[in-house]
Amino acid sequence: MKPIDYLDKELAELIAKAIDLLQWPHHCRFTGRVKEDLIKLKIQNGELLDSMRSHLKARLPLYSQPQTMSELEPIVGFVFCPLCIKGGELQVYCKFTIPNVASEKEEYLLICSCHRPEFPCPGEKK
């Protein structure tokens, strides 16, 4: 994982798009695994989306990771490690992408992971 520089023009545009998409739940999709994890962690969709949006707006630590599994061309995956939910009571590892689409009307944010961190987050002690 590579730390995000919020001042990088290209990344700043993607982050701005993510902040915009996160305010519209119908533009946010969850993988089946994420839906299961949210139930296990007792997190509502809105709590997760609000926490992600707040994190991005505050420019808290965020990491990038190339995603190649389901795409012909690699796209950027963004990783929150940790993402604080419920006032910081719960910290999760959360990853999202903004898939390439044909038009702005089709844009969406895909949440690929949301679970307790399995390994220490960057900068945390083991």
Q: Would the pTM count as exceeding 0.75?
A: yes
Is position 98 within any domain? yes
| Number of structural domains the chain divides into | 1
pLDDT in tens, 23-69: 999 999 999 999 999 999 999 999 999 999 999 999 999 999 887 76
Mean pLDDT over the full length of the chain: 90
Is position 122 within any domain? no
Q: 36: helix, coil or strand?
A: helix
Q: Rg of the Cα trace of the chain?
A: 14
CATH of residue 47's domain is: 3.30.2310
Is position 73 within any domain? yes
- Domain hosting residue 20, numbered range: 2-115
Is position 126 within any domain? no
